[in-house]
Amino acid sequence: MGTWGSGLYQNDSTCDVRDTYMGFLQEKLSNQEAYEKTLEMYQECIGDEDGEPLFWLALSETQWKVGRLTPEVKAKALEWIEKGGGVAIWEESGTDSTGWKKTLEKLRLKLETEQPKEKRIRKPQVINQNLWNVGDVYAYQFHKEESKKYEAYGKFILIQKIGEEQFIPPHICEDEDLSKFPVLMRIHVFDKLFDHAPTLKDVEKLRLLPIGQPTWTGEIAMSILLELDKKKDYPAEQLIFLGNIQAPANSTVKKDAYPMFWIHLEAICINSFQFWQRKEYEELEAGVFRYTQPV
């Protein structure tokens, strides 16, 4: 599971559950049908000490937000909150679990309040997702309040587009029209913060920044598939185009299950940068990287 923060949707698993359930609602399924299909999709999580709490937490919050929280889902989520569901993931990784515990408490308070009226679900508008050319390098400037805690506010990090992929959610049937799913851009990030706007030459000899934390096997992701949920989420004012250099071959790119949203880019970069300082990794084979204990 990729994790880039302690928020409810700052890990792959909860994002996957939320997006799958919402996808079924957007296809005009009833709430019960969307719930049953989502449960079927993630049946392997049920009974798993790490996976099951994340499933119920994400599903309950998503249902509450759209006015469709059922008693069963609410009860399951509150049960896992009482048990501290998901805390073990943080403790096993040696990371402070305080932030996650606050997330659980915040969710508990939300679920125990009256949910909003049932909202009408619309299919998302078509947005141009393929914004850059392969090989384009941009400097991104941190500007959000959270970056001040890590002394990153106003600093820059380098990002490069390395590929293009059509993302098709796993719940889609084979006979469905797949042309409606957009082509997304895949990026990697370079492992250095700059006090001033860098140049294209600064890319030379920089290592890549792993994305999130290692899985329990030590395997790590080295790139992100980015999805633009809303046009206003594209950080045009914080991006400086530096130029284009050859991107690595696709064989060096490890595929991930779901894309991440542009709006989370800054949090992903900051948390990844903080975690990987003075930590090393190695490439086992083409596209497969593993965390190695620092000396």
pLDDT of residue 290: 85
Band (pLDDT 50/70/90 cuts) for residue 2 is low
Is the pLDDT score of 165 beyond 90?
A: no
Tokens 């073990």 found at: 88
pLDDT at 175 over 80: no
pLDDT tens column, 228-246: 888 888 999 999 999 999 8
What are the structural domain ranges in the chain? 12-111, 136-292
DSSP E strand boundaries for the chain:
136-141, 156-166, 183-189, 219-220, 224-227, 239-244, 260-261, 280-285, 288-292
Average pLDDT over residues 32-53: 89
| Residue 31 banded pLDDT, cuts 50, 70, 90 | very high
Mean pLDDT over each residue of the chain, to the nearest integer: 85
pLDDT at 253 > cutoff 90: no
Query: Among 88-92, 140-144, 170-174, which stretch is predicted with the lowest mean pLDDT?
Result: 170-174
Nearest 5°: the CA angle 61, 40, 112 is 20
pLDDT class of 204 with cuts at 50, 70, 90: confident
Vertex 71: Cα angle to 69 and 73 (nearest 5): 65
User: pTM (2 decimals)?
Assistant: 0.58
Residue 59's pLDDT is what?
Answer: 96
Which pLDDT tens digit goes with each residue over 90-114?
A: 666 556 678 888 999 999 999 999 9
CA dihedral sign of residues 128, 265, 43, 107: negative
